[in-house]
Amino acid sequence: MKKKLFGFLSFAVTVAVLVGMLKVLNWLPTAIDQSTIRKYPSIEAVGAKLGIREIYVPSYFPATLGWPPAEILAQSKPFEAVVMEFKRPEDGETALIISQSARPEFAPDMKIRFTEVTEKIPYALKGREALLEAGTCNDRSPCSRISWDEDGTRIRLAMQSPPLELIRIAESMLR
């Protein structure tokens, strides 16, 4: 009986040590390389930790959205990217996603999924060529998206609202 108990106990300790080692090995690369994608507590922390020179933030912000961002993800390797997610205070749903990236194909706004794009038009955004899209989201509510390039950075906003509010936010991001 003692042999069985000792065997079981040694097996449990071995498994616990192995799980602990795997957790450390999984954590180690992110602890060493701070430039890969991770969550940040504030926009200022992103700038300080990653050295991203320009983080585009709107100066106009509708009262229907919560500030500060509910979630901020950023990286500097393999390319610079910042994603900010904003939620509606009344229901906690994601209502706006702002992203900027050194790669134009980076599109992290999957929490706001278009079920149908009804309009896709070029739009002059304070002298910049932007692409404005309007349509409906998963729950048939209006959705809009706008994207443009700013000094080699692709900026993309997606919002659960008609385009007018989104355009006001986008314009407030530019000087």
- Region 21-32: mean pLDDT is 60
pLDDT over 60 (residue 82): yes
Q: Nearest-CA neighbor of 143 among 114, 167, 109?
A: 114
Average pLDDT, the chain: 87
pLDDT over 90 (residue 13): no
Q: Which two structure tokens, joined as six digits, stand for 46?
A: 């992103």
Q: Which two structure tokens, joined as six digits, stand for 58?
A: 């709107």
Place of tokens 């390319």: 79
pLDDT over 60 (residue 28): no
pLDDT over 50 (residue 32): no
- Region 6-25: mean pLDDT is 78
Band of the pLDDT at 21, cuts 50, 70, 90?
confident
Q: Nearest-CA neighbor of 69 among 109, 38, 40?
A: 40
pLDDT over 60 (residue 110): yes
How many Cβ atoms are within 10 Å of 161's Cβ, its own excluded?
Answer: 20
Q: Looking at 15-29, 120-134, 139-153, which range is the least confident one?
A: 15-29
User: What is the pLDDT, as a whole number, of residue 22?
Assistant: 75
- Report whether 92 contacts 143 (CB < 8 A): no
- Report whether 65 contacts 96 (CB < 8 A): yes
